[in-house]
């Protein structure tokens, strides 16, 4: 603890488990000094707690739960030997940013600088950096303009940086489970639930690999787009029980990207026997999982979280090869709040970025 967090100077006694399932035993460790008063002004707060954060940068942040996103000056660390500094040109708006700003999951620390679908240009490299040089076009799936080279990927020259940005989260989040669960097989039938940021990229991967794609959506207005622009082969309105029942046991796999509470029952019924549903959407309330569609069809429900860095670069290269980018609506930083409100109302076609 003292090595990695130099400001942890208070010795305290507690009880801890030293390993998985270990007994809880007395344990002495370090805590940081208690801040005298919680500072509103981000700059002061950051310099107090992170002494090596010396570079002043400008961003946009929510200062409190449901707060508006406003200009925010804060500190970043110096570019270390293993770090790269990125001039951020575009940043996607993932529904996860909205969950965080609204503290839907109860885990947000404020002030919060949202955004984790970043593309830009390298402006500085540390002495140990071998994979990147100044001027490289890169992407990051984390917030941040100064970070270890380990978290950065190259963006192929053929992909525009604005429409590539959401690949850093939406793209890898659907690519990773599609690959892991052997979904990328030509001729197989995939269902994509929720036609938003994640959903529309899933369709693009599936079409690039020759799958038959059925979109399952709550929005009738999205059918034309799904079929004509994205090349979906079929479109089901999930609110129409008849339509859903008519397609029972027809799909090999389903990827569910829905950001709100819903029932997995009618979706599971679309799967063939032993079919697999991967849940990547993260509603704040538990989804309904009725047992009958699970047990009668011997179906599986599983989850997946983004993907590793090696896989993210692999996904980027595949996007470069198949010319996969995201359908985007460009907005300026001063339109972020309006854009987030529209995202909450499901009133966007595809992710925003700037
Ligand atoms: N597992 C991971 O690692 C990971 C990574 C990124 C994001 N996520 C999560 O994945 C979810 C989707 O993210 P996204 O950026 O693709 O979001 P998005 O663009 O808002 O798309 C979500 C889609 O869900 C559907 N939906 C149905 N009912 C809804 C409702 N009441 N409110 C909002 N949407 C509703 C909509 O599709 P239709 O109109 O077609 O029904 C909507 O387009 C979020 O929960 C996000 O936090 C997870
Ligand atoms: Zn995301």
Instruction: Write out pLDDT tens, residues 199-213.
Output: 999 999 999 999 999
Pocket of ligand 1 contains residue 171 by CB under 6 Å = no
350, pLDDT greater than 70: no
| Ligand 1 mean position, distance from CA 185 (Å) | 25
Pocket of ligand 1 contains residue 173 by CB under 6 Å = yes
- Helix, strand, coil percentages (3-state) for the chain, rounded to 5, are 30, 30, 40
Maximum distance among all Cα pairs of the chain, rounded to whole angstroms: 65
What is the model's pLDDT at position 293? 96
Q: Identify which has the larger pLDDT, 66 or 95.
A: 95
Residues of the chain with CATH 3.90.180.10: 53-168+326-353
Q: Mean per-residue pLDDT for 293-314?
A: 97
The span from the CA of 235 to the CA of 315, in Å, is 26
For the CA of 259, the closest atom of ligand 1 is: 45
| Confidence category of residue 28, pLDDT binned at 50, 70, 90 | confident
Report H helices in 210-328: 223-224, 241-246, 265-268, 291-296, 309-322
What is the model's pLDDT at position 1? 41
What is the model's pLDDT at position 21? 83
**What percentage of the chain exceeds 70 in pLDDT?**
91
Q: Identify which has the larger pLDDT, 11 or 241.
A: 241
In which element (H, E) is residue 161 found? Answer: helix 161-164
354, pLDDT greater than 50: no
The residues whose Cβ lies within 5 A of ligand 2, an ion, are 94, 96, 169
| Ligand 2 mean position, distance from CA 340 (Å) | 13
Please, is 43 exposed, middle or buried when counting C-beta atoms within 10 Å of its C-beta (0-12, 13-18, 19+)? Answer: middle
Residues of the chain with CATH 3.40.50.720: 171-303
171-303: CATH superfamily: NAD(P)-binding Rossmann-like Domain (3.40.50.720)
Pocket of ligand 1 contains residue 85 by CB under 6 Å = no
For the CA of 93, the closest atom of ligand 1 is: 15
According to DSSP, residue 308 is labeled: -
Pocket of ligand 1 contains residue 218 by CB under 6 Å = yes
Q: Is 131 left (phi over 0), alpha (psi -120 to 50) or beta?
A: alpha
CATH of 53-168+326-353, one of 3.40.190.10, 3.40.50.300, 3.30.70.980, 3.90.180.10: 3.90.180.10
């Amino acid at each position: 603890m003292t090595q990695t967090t130099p400001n942890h100077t208070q010795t305290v006694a507690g009880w801890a488990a030293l390993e998985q399932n270990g007994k809880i035993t007395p344990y002495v460790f370090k805590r940081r000094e208690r801040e005298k008063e919680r500072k509103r002004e981000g700059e002061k707060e950051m310099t107090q707690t992170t002494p090596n954060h010396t570079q002043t940068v400008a961003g946009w942040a929510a200062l409190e739960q449901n707060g508006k996103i406003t200009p925010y000056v804060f500190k970043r660390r110096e570019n270390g030997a293993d770090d790269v500094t990125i001039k951020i040109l575009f940043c996607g708006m993932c529904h996860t940013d909205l969950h965080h700003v609204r503290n839907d999951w109860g885990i947000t620390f404020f002030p919060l600088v949202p955004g984790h679908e970043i593309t830009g240009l390298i402006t500085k490299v540390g002495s140990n950096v071998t994979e990147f040089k100044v001027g490289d076009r890169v992407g990051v799936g984390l917030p941040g303009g100064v970070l270890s080279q380990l978290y950065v990927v190259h963006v192929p020259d053929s992909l525009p940086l604005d429409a590539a940005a959401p690949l850093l989260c939406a793209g890898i989040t659907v690519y990773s489970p599609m690959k892991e669960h052997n979904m990328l097989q030509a001729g197989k039938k995939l269902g994509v639930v929720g036609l938003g940021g994640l959903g529309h990229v899933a369709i693009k991967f599936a079409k690039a690999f020759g799958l038959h794609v059925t979109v399952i959506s709550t929005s009738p207005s999205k059918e034309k787009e799904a079929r004509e622009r994205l090349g979906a082969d079929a479109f089901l309105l999930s609110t129409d029980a008849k339509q859903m029942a008519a397609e029972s046991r027809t799909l090999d796999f389903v990827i569910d990207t829905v950001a709100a509470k819903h029932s997995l029952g009618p979706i599971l019924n679309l799967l063939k026997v032993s079919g697999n549903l991967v849940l990547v959407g993260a509603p704040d309330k538990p989804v309904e999982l009725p047992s009958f569609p699970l047990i009668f069809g011997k179906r599986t429900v599983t989850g997946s979280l983004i993907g590793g860095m090696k896989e993210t670069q692999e996904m980027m290269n595949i996007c470069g090869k198949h010319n996969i980018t995201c359908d985007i609506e460009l907005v300026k930083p001063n339109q972020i709040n309006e854009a987030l409100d529209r995202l909450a109302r499901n009133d966007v076609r595809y992710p925003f970025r700037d």
